[in-house]
Structure 1
Amino acid sequence: MSQKTIALTASGKTAAEAPLDIWERVLRISIVLGLCLIIYGTVEGRVFNPLLRAAHASDWMHVLLRPSILWMTMGSLLLGFRTLLWFRYRPFAASTPADAPTLTVIIPAYNEGAMVAQTIDSVATARYPRERLEIFVVDDGSRDDTWEHIQAAARRHPELVKTIRFAQNRGKRAALEAGFRQASGEVAVTIDSDSVIEHDTLLEIAGPFRNPRIGAVAGKVSVYNQRDGLIPRMLHVRYVLSFDVLRAVQSTYGTVYCCPGALSAYRLAVVREVLDKWVAQKFLGVPSTYGEDRAMTNFILARGYDTVYQQTAVVHTVVPLTYGKLCKMYLRWDRSYVREELRFAGLVWKRPLKSLMFSLFDNIITNLRYPVGYVVFVLLISLSLTEPRTILRVLFAIGIMSTFYMLYFLRSERSWKALYGILYSYFSFFTLFWVFPYAVLTVRARSWMTR
């Protein structure tokens, strides 16, 4: 589970980078060469020649394939753009015990059992000045022994832990609200009750708030139970790419779109400015339940603050072990994604010019992947009926692209676990393609599906 955090050196490089200069250079060269080949092959169109020939006999297929190829070309350029920003990303310097701000950690819990005790203990024993730290643990009407474990942890750390108990389940947003309203720190950190932080995480995540423009900080989420099955192993790779690549890129222009519930920090004064609206948020006339993390991020962006990523602030969180629970998690994420993307489309125009331009370029191309992706999916099914080798070409293309993406993973973690990332590409293509369309059709649903 343990993963060494990365300390900044006086030179501006990280301590982990110093002995890995050769490895870093090799990866950068490999990534740049791979990008050049992808962009060249896409722009020249040779990659798509077999598909174009197969579709030539059908006018409607030909019409649909052309814009799809255009989008794929733009996607290749977006990948190159992201890579340049990714190379520029550096984590912020951590706070020191001498300059650390007062900090309130809020841990909402529901039917978490013994795991919540591990979460509390990891926070209470983390390296942070005791006199500047408080911990609120909110039992959201649990029906198991969660409250007993919370009380036991509070007895172990009586100077730090304060407890709140709801008589009945009111939802994660209400639990977080209770913590926000009673918090006394300058910075509020939210941590899920199925997660464990590393020893220096609190000092690391407090560091960026030296900059008064920063309103929220996203921590790095890793998989706690990655040894417990194939799905956690695949998700571990996906999480590394989602945080160490995507959020790192977004951080370079001060617009991380989602500061995750598993580990995020907020300037408390800003949270209090938007708290009432966040609690009362509705979508299509229905109160919003899940997606509270991205909703809060949008509210903070709308106030004119930046949101950034701190790679060195690490939390390890429990992820689903089964396909059914994985689908439920993705359904929650995709439903909130639809809601908050629509909100972001309205507020992005108020962002600084750099953030505005980069966000528009990224979001427009990224969101087009859904209509274009499903059009291509239908085309491939149709083409495979007359040209069975199309299936083999698609499988080969998925393997090539996922292998290329593993170069990004290897920059964060030199591990054979990269192979699980390739496997995840096939797994998601064949088993998760239905989740987003279903999420769109059921976007007004409120159920957490695990409560």
Structure 2
Amino acid sequence: MRTAASTLPLHPTGRHRAERRGFNLKKMQVVDLTLKILVPAMLLVFFMISLHYGSLDGYLQLLSRRSYAAFIPALGAAYTLALLLFQIVRTVLWGLYRPYALPAGELPKVTVIIPAYNEGEMVEKAISAVVASDYPHDKLEVICIDDGSKDDTWHYIQRAAGRFPHLIKAVQFPHNRGKKAGLYAGFTQGQGEIFVTIDSDSVISHDTLRQVVAPMMQDAKVGAVAGNVKVYNRHQSLLGKMLAVRFVLSFDFLRASQSRYGGVTCTPGALSAYRRAAVLPHVDAWLNQTFLGAPCQHSEDRALTNFVLRAGYYSVYQRTAIVHTLVPETYTGLCKMYLRWERGNVRESFVQLGYLFTNYRKKDRLLPIVDFFMTQIEFPLTYLFLGLLLGSIVVYPLVFIKFLAALGVISAIYMIYYLVLEKDLDFIYGVIYSYYAFFFLQWIYPYAFLTVRNRHWLTR
């Protein structure tokens, strides 16, 4: 149905923007069709070359030279086998995963917390989606915090609050204090039994609030729930399409498998829910957390998940609680986002190690330990084998083609998870992302590790 607003004539600037969006959409459709033809053809070429030049005599001679320590190939084989076995375990857990059904009975009081900084009109879309959801308004409270924005974010928050004064509480900081401070204000001022945190660049689905509270209504041990994060600007850029596939694999496959033993390691900022009793005793320690003498200002979601887990609660994933969030559309923006995430992962992995071997909960402690160590050894071994690969290419250049073929085949197999969930041909962008990540993103983790004390938000 067309609204009255849709019948109004466009301002020239708005018309030009609409024309540009239409042109970009047509261009992306052409690129989409081209890539869905070229990428399979490229993989076939790599595979055929590898078969044609199938002899590895030169490479075997290389491995036999004294310059190569004998333990490296053995280490690679052992790690590959362990990774394969654990991937099978994860696949079984993922296959057994089922979303929590919403139980009958009265819904709990929910406080939705939306911190915003320089978000502009997007914050109003985030707020409007919450208000338009099917959660009963008498059980809903929305707190939106303007974290000292320098643009017109406060105007859009006030406009939304003016439309729904009975639902929305608007808070404005006089200067930028950081996302943690914004969330802290929501946690300490909110009256809900459950807190739901949503990023100001994210839009939830109509039934998301009901879905995200369902696990905590079913199981008193659940203290935190991770939502299902999808890409809002998926069709605006090639990077958006790649990240859309990447998010399905990282946010669904990984978290669904972790959810089976209540050990989701990160409940994402884009959409998460927390039991009031699980977070309020720890919000002061969380707000004032330090690492190596520096305040922890980013990766607040991973940090809060650690506090909840360490307190003995379970963290789970709810596939049916859907949120669409904006992602970077440039290489620079992507690197900044990943750097922030990886610095947080490095820091919070040390925090997690501090309680993994304690009796922080009565059961379900083994698989989180296995998951932790399989994840942690992935990075150092990856860079060890990368050095081995580079050395091999110098002596036996054909190894490079064989590697490209293997990378494509392995990533294509990995896309089976995506096909089962999404059932569309965009899995091709997952294969492209594998090459993109290998050639352009390998530096992220070591640099994040070396600069873990860096407190800059980067995307601001």
Question: How has the CA–CA distance of structure 1 residues 48 and 327 changed in structure 2, closer, same or farther, with 3 Å as cutoff?
Answer: farther
Q: 2:366 aligns with which of 353, 357, 364?
A: 357
The answer to whether the aligner puts 1:146 opposite 2:153 as a matched pair is yes
> Does the CA contact (< 8 Å) of 2:125 and 2:203 recur in 1?
yes
> Does the CA contact (< 8 Å) of 2:306 and 2:351 recur in 1?
yes
Q: 1:178 aligns with which of 175, 178, 185?
A: 185
State how far apart, in whole Å, the 2-side matches of 1:369 and 1:354 are.
Answer: 26
- 179-188 vs 153-162, greater mean Cα deviation: 153-162
Identify the residue that residue 245 of structure 2 maps to in structure 1. 237
Question: How has the CA–CA distance of structure 1 residues 52 and 343 changed in structure 2, closer, same or farther, with 3 Å as cutoff?
Answer: farther
Q: 2:402 aligns with which of 393, 398, 403?
A: 393
State how far apart, in whole Å, the 1-side matches of 2:308 and 2:322 are.
Answer: 22
- How many percent identity over aligned positions? 47
The answer to whether the aligner puts 1:78 opposite 2:121 as a matched pair is no
Matches within 5 A, 1:176-255: 176-210=183-217, 211-255=219-263
> Does the CA contact (< 8 Å) of 1:52 and 1:62 recur in 2?
no
State how far apart, in whole Å, the 2-side matches of 1:240 and 1:50 are.
Answer: 40
The answer to whether the aligner puts 1:270 opposite 2:278 as a matched pair is yes
> How far did residue 66 of structure 1 move?
1.9
Q: Deviations over 1:63-120 (max 9, x none)?
A: 3222122111110111111111111100001256x52100000000000000000000
Identify the residue that residue 91 of structure 1 maps to in structure 2. 99
Question: How has the CA–CA distance of structure 1 residues 58 and 281 changed in structure 2, closer, same or farther, with 3 Å as cutoff?
Answer: same
State how far apart, in whole Å, the 1-side matches of 2:343 and 2:106 are.
Answer: 40
The answer to whether the aligner puts 1:421 opposite 2:430 as a matched pair is yes
State how far apart, in whole Å, the 2-side matches of 1:383 and 1:423 are.
Answer: 24
State how far apart, in whole Å, the 1-side matches of 2:400 and 2:299 are.
Answer: 36
Q: Deviations over 1:158-177 (max 9, x none)?
A: 11110000000000000000
The residue type equivalent to 1:209 in the other structure is M
Identify the residue that residue 310 of structure 1 maps to in structure 2. 318
Q: Deviations over 1:216-272 (max 9, x none)?
A: 000000000011101110000010011221000000000100000000000012211
- 143-152 vs 62-71, greater mean Cα deviation: 62-71
Q: 1:339 aligns with which of 304, 327, 347?
A: 347
> Does the CA contact (< 8 Å) of 1:65 and 1:376 recur in 2?
no
The residue type equivalent to 2:315 in the other structure is T
Question: How has the CA–CA distance of structure 1 residues 334 and 224 changed in structure 2, closer, same or farther, with 3 Å as cutoff?
Answer: same
Give 3-state SS (helix, strand or coil) of 1:93's partner: coil
Question: How has the CA–CA distance of structure 1 residues 372 and 193 changed in structure 2, closer, same or farther, with 3 Å as cutoff?
Answer: same
Give 3-state SS (helix, strand or coil) of 1:86's partner: helix
Identify the residue that residue 109 of structure 2 maps to in structure 1. 102
> How far did residue 47 of structure 1 move?
12
Identify the residue that residue 136 of structure 2 maps to in structure 1. 129
> Does the CA contact (< 8 Å) of 1:222 and 1:316 recur in 2?
yes
> Does the CA contact (< 8 Å) of 1:221 and 1:262 recur in 2?
yes
Q: Deviations over 1:200-220 (max 9, x none)?
A: 000000111121101000000
Identify the residue that residue 443 of structure 1 maps to in structure 2. 452
State how far apart, in whole Å, the 2-side matches of 1:161 and 1:95 are.
Answer: 27
Identify the residue that residue 7 of structure 1 maps to in structure 2. none
Identify the residue that residue 406 of structure 1 maps to in structure 2. 415
- 159-168 vs 65-74, greater mean Cα deviation: 65-74
Question: How has the CA–CA distance of structure 1 residues 418 and 356 changed in structure 2, closer, same or farther, with 3 Å as cutoff?
Answer: same
Q: Which runs of 5+ in 2 are unaligned?
A: 1-53
> How far did residue 409 of structure 1 move?
0.5
Q: Deviations over 1:114-140 (max 9, x none)?
A: 000000000011010110100000000
> Does the CA contact (< 8 Å) of 1:71 and 1:365 recur in 2?
no
Q: 2:163 aligns with which of 146, 156, 159?
A: 156
- Calculate the aligned-residue CA RMSD, in Å: 1.6
Q: Which runs of 5+ in 1 are unaligned?
A: 1-45
Q: 2:77 aligns with which of 46, 69, 80?
A: 69
Give 3-state SS (helix, strand or coil) of 2:115's partner: strand
Residue correspondences, number: 405
The residue type equivalent to 1:124 in the other structure is V
State how far apart, in whole Å, the 1-side matches of 2:122 and 2:288 are.
Answer: 30
Give 3-state SS (helix, strand or coil) of 2:323's partner: strand
> How far did residue 49 of structure 1 move?
9.2
Q: Which has the larger radius of gyration?
A: 2
The answer to whether the aligner puts 1:375 opposite 2:375 as a matched pair is no
Give 3-state SS (helix, strand or coil) of 1:311's partner: strand
State how far apart, in whole Å, the 2-side matches of 1:433 and 1:113 are.
Answer: 33
State how far apart, in whole Å, the 1-side matches of 2:370 and 2:189 are.
Answer: 40
Question: How has the CA–CA distance of structure 1 residues 391 and 331 changed in structure 2, closer, same or farther, with 3 Å as cutoff?
Answer: same
The residue type equivalent to 2:138 in the other structure is E
The residue type equivalent to 1:322 in the other structure is T
Question: How has the CA–CA distance of structure 1 residues 95 and 109 changed in structure 2, closer, same or farther, with 3 Å as cutoff?
Answer: farther
Identify the residue that residue 116 of structure 1 maps to in structure 2. 123
The residue type equivalent to 2:293 in the other structure is G
Question: How has the CA–CA distance of structure 1 residues 351 and 89 changed in structure 2, closer, same or farther, with 3 Å as cutoff?
Answer: farther
> How far did residue 397 of structure 1 move?
1.0
Give 3-state SS (helix, strand or coil) of 1:228's partner: coil
Identify the residue that residue 375 of structure 2 maps to in structure 1. 366
TM-score w.r.t. length of structure 1: 0.87
> How far did residue 338 of structure 1 move?
0.4
Give 3-state SS (helix, strand or coil) of 1:74's partner: helix
> Does the CA contact (< 8 Å) of 2:311 and 2:360 recur in 1?
no
TM-score w.r.t. length of structure 2: 0.86
